[in-house]
Every structure is written in structure tokens, then in C-alpha cells.
Structure 1
Amino acid sequence: MKKLSVKLGILFFLIIFGLITFMFFFLHEGIVESRVEEELFSLQSRGNSHRAILEKHFNKDIIDHVVLMESESNTDVVITDKNRKVLASSAPSSTFNNYLKSPVSNLPRDGEIVEDKWDKEPFISTVSPIEKNGKLVGLVYMFQDTASVHSLINRLNEHFVLSGWISVILTFIIIIFLSKGITKPLIKMKEATSQISKGHFDVILPKTSDDELGDLAKSIELLASNLNYLTEERNEFLASISHELRTPLTYIKGYADILHKRELPIEAQKKYLEIIVDETNRLSDLIKELFELAKYDKNSFEIQKEPIDLNQFFKKIEQKLSPAFIEKNMNLSAYCPPNLVIKADSHRLEQILFNLLDNSMKYSQNGAQVFLKAWKSKDLIHIIVRDNGKGIPDKDLPHIFNRFYRVDKSRTRTLGGTGLGLAIVKELVQAHGAEILVKSKENIGTEFELIFRGD
């Protein structure tokens, strides 16, 4: 009973068997009732036919002739006077005494049914009035043995039982194929999910029809693909983070051992201590950014959108970063039209722009120009950060938002980058419901474009 195909088969069988049983019962009752009504109508018509003859000639010869006719058939007739005294009978009249005792009053011209309980009584019976000049002169009672009706019903029951068994067998066979047809793709999906749980993500399910089962199969394949991607990303992330943590720790441990075990001049000690401090700061920045990314992955931070005047916002950014650009002999130019308002989290937007501008400053040479610009087009607000620095090779552009990805590993380490800045930027941009695009040419420069909705 644990198999779905068995459960579905039993359920389908019970439902269909119940419907077939109900339909057979309803049909059987209808046919039986119809056949009994036909027998009663035929008996009534036969009595009316005899009545018509007797009304023309109500005498002993005609009465005996009618009785003789019925004695050779499967029905019986009893002819009485108006007081129900038996004048003639095709069978011993004592057999029918119980039916003749029933009082008859206001008898319709076409007669009426005296007994119709074929399943309880030995006879079914009708009566027809014989009239002369509008007055009742006699009665014609017609009788039919219910044994013939029972025989008819028994034959009918045999046909129904045979049909029922054939229907049940065919239903059982159809249900077996139907339940297997439904559960087969489900079994395949179960096997696929079992493989996924064991870490085998190269799952390919057979194509099914374009219905809910087909959608489920596609969803499982997509899930396997996503899990494979996430597993690869996790492994790559763990490898990268172990490398990133190991390098500064190696420096710190190595130079700390040198300072501890050797007696060095003051200048050498200062030099080694500076290296230790730099690597400690690098490690601290890396851990801080990892915590930031962890918060974004868990959606444990909130974006508090508020109206921001971008013109004033850009001026504040320019004031904060201009000293750093001047120190490196670079020029930062910010432009935004007046009264341009954007709905965003001011702290997070500042973090985004600081990261992008810091990258432009790090990867541009002395005398470089860095531009921060905003404008509105239709319902969209565009913000760009453009520089004329080193640029990014085409092969690296699709990967620059990946965690720990570096275009130039050696130079990035020299400049203190962790490879997480652009990953953080992308997470923050997407949290705003915005989009980030990048264009770059080697030795020409790089442009990052942020596109926000103007609501």
C-alpha cells in the first residue's frame, strides 16, 4: 500500500466501480419496471379486447369462446356478472378468489389494475367493465402468472451480472495501465530527486506532455541545474576564501615569528610591523565584507527608500572623495541636473557609488579623469561612473561581479582589493530593484551604469 500506483489504482477502481454499480442498479430497476408495465398494459389490452366482444354479445356461447381462447394461452380470464359472481373461468376460479373479493366501484372505461406486485404475489391482474346501454353488466378479470415475469427478470439479472463482471475486469485492466501511465513519470522524478540528494546533478528527465507533470519535470531539471551551479559556486567560494584568509595570516605569522625570534634593527622592526598592520587591516576588511555579503544572501538587511535630491547628494560625495583623488593627481567631476529626485536608501546608494568610484581611482593612472553623472529619461533615472583607466578585457567582463574574481590578481592584491566590492555593489543594486550595466575597453576606460525606476 506504500506505492502511489497501487493507491491510485484502488482509488480509481472504487470510484469507477461505485459509478458502474449505481448506473447498473438504476438501469436494472428502470428496465424491470418498464417490462412489468408492458406486461400489465398487454394484459389490460387483452382484457379490453375481450370486453369489446362481450359487450356486443353477452351470452353463454361467447363467454365460453373467450374462456376457451385464454385456456390455450399463458394468461387466464375470469368473467363475472356485475355482482362478481363467476360465470366462466379458464382455470379453477378458487385460485383467483382473493382477487375477485376486492370491491369495484367507479371503474373507468379502460379498466384498472387489480394487482401489480409481481415480486410478492403469484399473479398480476387487471379488470375491465362490460357495459350495456351505459350500465354495468359484468366484469372481465385477466390474470398472468408472475412466474413468467420472474423468469424474465432472472434472465435480465444474468445479463446484468455478466455485463457487470466484464465491466469490472475491463475497468481493472484500464486502471492498471492508467495508474502506471500516471505514476511512471512520477517514479522517474522520484529517482531523479534521489540522485540529486546524493549530489548527482546531471539529471535529465524524459519529455512528458505539456501539463502539470511536464512542468514538474522541468522544475526538477531546473532545480538540479541551480543546485549544481550553487554547489560549484560554494566550492569555488570556499576555495577562494581559504586562499584569501591564508595569505594575510601567512604574512602576519611569518613576520611575527621573525620579530619574536630575531633581534632586528629598529627600522627593520618598523618595516615588518607595517606589513603586519597592513595585512591585519586587509584581513579585517575581508571579514567585514564577507559579513556584508552574508547579510545580503540571507536578506537580513532592509532597504529604507526615501526621496534623495541627487544634485545635493553628488556634491556631498564629491566633497568626501575629492581629497583622495587630488592626492593621487586625479580629477573627479560630478554632474546632476537640479531637482532630480530618486527614491533610494541614501546609505546604501552612497556605499554603491563609493565602491565604484574607489575602483576607478585604484585602476586609473595619475592624471586620470573620473566622471559621476546622472540624468532622467522617461521614467528611468540613469547614474554612470566613467573613467579613462586601464579598462577590463572582454573575456573578464561577464565575471567581474563574481565573488573574489580579479582581473589582475597581482595588481589587485598590491592595491588591497578583496574581490568582493563589485559583488556587494550588485547585491545592493538588485535590492533596490535596479539594474547595473558595464562597458569597458582595455586602455580606454570603464563605465558602470545604474538604472533606477523613477517611482
Structure 2
Amino acid sequence: MKLIYQHMLSFLLIILTTVSIIGFSEINNATKQSYEYNYQRMEDFASALGTLAVSDEKNGSAMLNPKFLHKLEFVLHSDRVYLSVFDKHGTQIYPEKNEDISLTSKRVMQLRQGKKLHIKNNNEALSSLGHKKAACTGVLLPWKDKGKFIGAIWLGVRVAKVERPVTIAKQNLFSALVSAIIVGLMLSLILSFYATDRIKKLSSATKKVAAGDFDVQTNYSGNDEITQLADNFNQMVRVLKKSNQEVKEQEKRRDQFMADAAHEMRTPLTTINGILEGLQYDAIPDKAKPKSIALMNRETKRLIRLVNENLDYEKIRNNQINLVKTTFNARKTLDDVTMQLKQNAAKVSDTLTINAPRDLPIYADKDRFTQIMVNLVQNAIQFTSDGEIQISGYRVAHATTIIVEDNGIGMNQQQIKYVFERYFKADTSRSSSGKGEYGLGLAIVSSLIKQHGGKISVQSEINHGAEFTIILFDRGYEQYLEN
């Protein structure tokens, strides 16, 4: 069932239920009032008749006098009131009938005690008042002469007459129900259309987003749930738009990486293949063979490094490596890294310096810490020429801080935003080598530090170098982040 019909049905049921409850309550109230009024009216008749009977005592017991009873019946006939009289034993003595009609002993006992009995329907009453074709309702009252119980009188009118206001109330209720259905259908249609129209607009906007349109925004006023849903939808679309832009930028960088990687791989493969063909056909002089073999060895290692960096990053990102964390002296590792990369720095006239105490405790996986420092220092060498690269280290509360600072080409804010992402490379035309790297070194560093429960940050400006800061916490103080 469509939502608009569900809303219409809900509104209609609420209206009909409300009208029905109110209507039936009014009918019950009207019925109760009609019968109570009739009982009171009959009791008033009986009181008046009793007074009339006392004034006619010259004929003896006026109540049982047939002439008096005929007078009563004549008086009551004009008001369509039915009269029956019972003696003190409960036997009907007026009007006379062929069948023997008498009250039950229980009813007689109640009347002797002076109780007034209200009979809603004589055809259903427990007392034997005699069944009539037209049911009557009224009162059965005790009648006494000088304080002595001498009989009872039944005064009643037709039930149909008493329930005439109830019948009118039922007709009014039926008319109200019909009117409520018509008005309810109209109101429910309007309200349902208003509610579902906004949902349709949201649905339409969702389809546009699914089709790739992230500029869709819905404008709803109010403070209901649909408005809140629309606000959440707008926020979701803005996040999706931002994510989509980032994905496109990632794809762009990935495409650039693939082009660079293809170029990087093609060059050493071409060199290796040329040397192998030269060796195969003795086209390379004997004096040049050692240099050719050394060149082929370097190009082969270059290819291996490219493949290993990709595989290494995937393992680190998927938490497939096991960290063996211990507390060791970081200064010795910094000295080893400086010695290892000193020759690379000298090629671009860079100087490496260490500013750290001789004893610098750190809690980390020693091999992975070495890998982190090699990548950070190698990255600094790559983008610094004729400059200085300083490695600093010091202790802070429950942690060790390492800083790698250079005075190279630096980065702008856009480059800083993506510097730790896979395949990101700064402007290769401005690097010291003119080639750049594969865009995995800093991504590996970031992943390793996160797995250590540490932190990494970078500060940089164009032509004012870059400063990478890492913090590795002591055992028990790590700050792991959820993926």
C-alpha cells in the first residue's frame, strides 16, 4: 500500500474512532437520562394518584375501588400511561385478565419493605408483570393505607416512547459518521499529500545522488522528523561530495603513479635488456662489461625496491606485520641511519646532523623504527639541495619525540593534506633529483607509527623546508586510533 493511502487510512480511523466514542457516549448518556426522567415522571404520577385515593376514602379503600381505578385509567389514558394494580399478595386485580398474573415473592417482599422498583422493560423483567406486545418501562411502587401495605401499583409507558430521543440521537450519530467520513477523507487527503510530497522530493533527490549529482540540496522548514531527515540528507550529500572529490583526486594521483611506475620500470628493463643482448652477442667490450654488469645490478635493485615498497605497504596497512616492541637506545639507530644515507646526501651537497642525547630510550620495534627513520631522512634528502637536514630527539612525559627537519623546497597546504597518502608525490620538477619517489615512503611511515600507537605530524611552507615530528609512547601509554 502506498504511503499516502496509509496516511489517509490512519487519519480516517482516528477521526472515525473519535466520533464513534463521543457518539456512543452521548447515546448512552441520552438513554440513561431518558429512563431516569421517565422513572421520576412515573413516581410523580403515583404520588399524585395516592393523594387522589386518600381524598376518596368515603368508599373504603379507595385504591382497590373499581370505580376509582377506572377514574385513574381514564386520567392516565390521555398520557399513554399504562396502569396495573396488585393486591397485598402480589396478584393482579386490575385490569382483570383471564390469565393469572402475580408478582414473585421476592418482589412482594421488596415492596413490603417500601422499595421502589424501576423496571426497564416489563417483557424482560423478572417480576411477572405480564408480557405486552409493545414493551413498557416504568415503576412498581408499594401502596399503603394508613401505614399498612395493601398492594402495589405499576405505572409504565411504552419503551419506544421513552427511547424516541435515543433514536434521534442514533440518527444524529449516523449523520455525524457520514459527515466525518466525508470531511475525514478530505482532510486526510490534504494532510497525507503534504507529508508524502516532502518524502517524494527526498526520494527524487536520493535518485539524483545515486546518479552522481552531489549538488542536490533539499530546503524544508519546520522542526519535524521529515525536516530533520532532510537536514541529515543534506549533510550526507555534502560529505559524499567531499568524498567523491577526494576519490577523484586519489584516482588522479593513482593514474599519475601508474604512469610514473610504468616509466620507472620501463627504463631499467630497457637498460637490462640492452645489456643482456650486448653480452649475448659480444657487442660490449671486455673493459666495459664490469660497468655494464654493475649498471644492470643497480637497475635490478631499483625494480625490486619498487615492488617491495608496494608489498610492504599492503602488509602494514592490513596489519599483517608483527611488531616486536622493546626499549632500546634510539641514538644508535639515528647514527646508523645517518651513516647509511650520508653518501646519498653528499650527492646533492646536503649535510646530515644529529641533535640528540647519547642515551635516548625509545619503546618501539627496532627494525620498523629504522625503516621509519630511513624513509623520513631519504624524503628530506630528495627535496633538499645544498642544504642541511637535522635529526633531533628528546624525551617527553611517557614518550620519545623525534624530529626530521630540512630547509628544502617545502610544501603548500594542499600537499601537506595528502602527504601521508599512498602514491602521493610532491612536484617532481622541484625535487633535488627531478624524479621524485614512488609515493609510498611516507604512507608506510604513517601506517607504522599508527600501529605503534604513536603520532606523526608535519609543518611546512614553500621554500622554507619541512619538519616531520613523530612521537612514540612508552609501554602502556600508547594511543591507538580506530581505522
User: Could you tell me the TM-score, scaled by structure 1's length?
Assistant: 0.78
Identity %: 17
Matched, 1:113 2:118: yes
Instruction: Sort the Cα spacing of 1:382 and 1:164 in 2 relative to 1 into closer, same or farther, 3 A.
Output: farther
Matched, 1:439 2:459: yes
SS class of match (1:106): helix
Counterpart position of 2:40: 45
CA displacement at 1:359 relative to structure 2: 2.0
Counterpart position of 2:481: none
Counterpart position of 1:335: 356
Counterpart position of 1:357: 377
- CA deviation profile, 1:388-429 (whole Å, cap 9, x unmatched): 431404454444334332233464655762122223333444
Counterpart position of 1:162: 175
Q: Does the Cα contact within 8 Å between 2:410 and 2:464 map onto a contact in 1?
A: no
What is the rounded CA distance, in whole Å, between the counterparts of 1:189 and 1:278 in structure 2? 61
Q: Does the Cα contact within 8 Å between 1:123 and 1:143 map onto a contact in 2?
A: yes
After superposing the two structures, state which structure 1 stretch, 382-391 or 125-134, moved more.
382-391
Q: Does the Cα contact within 8 Å between 1:80 and 1:86 map onto a contact in 2?
A: yes
CA displacement at 1:315 relative to structure 2: 2.8
Q: Does the Cα contact within 8 Å between 2:85 and 2:152 map onto a contact in 1?
A: yes
Q: Does the Cα contact within 8 Å between 2:360 and 2:395 map onto a contact in 1?
A: no
Instruction: Sort the Cα spacing of 1:334 and 1:30 in 2 relative to 1 into closer, same or farther, 3 A.
Output: same
Counterpart position of 2:419: 400
After superposing the two structures, state which structure 1 stretch, 238-247 or 395-404, moved more.
395-404
**Amino acid aligned to 1:229:** Q
What is the rounded CA distance, in whole Å, between the counterparts of 1:436 and 1:355 in structure 2? 13
Counterpart position of 2:338: 322
What is the rounded CA distance, in whole Å, between the counterparts of 2:464 and 2:19 in structure 1? 86
Instruction: Sort the Cα spacing of 1:348 and 1:258 in 2 relative to 1 into closer, same or farther, 3 A.
Output: closer
What is the rounded CA distance, in whole Å, between the counterparts of 1:448 and 1:158 in structure 2? 88
Instruction: Sort the Cα spacing of 1:388 and 1:220 in 2 relative to 1 into closer, same or farther, 3 A.
Output: closer
What is the rounded CA distance, in whole Å, between the counterparts of 2:178 and 2:358 in structure 1? 86
User: Could you tell me the TM-score, scaled by structure 2's length?
Assistant: 0.74
CA displacement at 1:71 relative to structure 2: 1.8
CA displacement at 1:29 relative to structure 2: 4.2
- CA deviation profile, 1:23-80 (whole Å, cap 9, x unmatched): 5554444333333332332232223223333444342577555434432225433344
CA displacement at 1:130 relative to structure 2: 1.4
2:311 to 271, 287, 291: 291
**Amino acid aligned to 2:29:** S
**Amino acid aligned to 2:245:** Y
Instruction: Sort the Cα spacing of 1:13 and 1:124 in 2 relative to 1 into closer, same or farther, 3 A.
Output: farther
Alignment of 1:7-406 (within 5 A): 8-20=3-15, 22-56=17-51, 57-58=53-54, 59=62, 63=69, 66-84=72-90, 101-103=103-105, 104=107, 105-107=109-111, 109-116=114-121, 122-207=135-220, 209=222, 211=225, 212-256=228-272, 258-259=274-275, 260=277, 263-266=283-286, 277-295=297-315, 300-301=318-319, 308-309=326-327, 312-327=328-343, 328=345, 330-333=351-354, 335=356, 348-365=368-385, 368-376=388-396, 381=399, 383-394=401-412, 396-402=415-421, 403-406=423-426
What is the rounded CA distance, in whole Å, between the counterparts of 1:302 and 1:257 in structure 2? 35
Q: Does the Cα contact within 8 Å between 1:384 and 1:447 map onto a contact in 2?
A: no
What is the rounded CA distance, in whole Å, between the counterparts of 1:117 and 1:289 in structure 2? 105
| Matched positions, count | 439
Structure showing greater radius of gyration is: 2
| Structure 1 stretches lacking a partner, 5+ long | none
CA displacement at 1:127 relative to structure 2: 0.8
Instruction: Sort the Cα spacing of 1:165 and 1:143 in 2 relative to 1 into closer, same or farther, 3 A.
Output: same
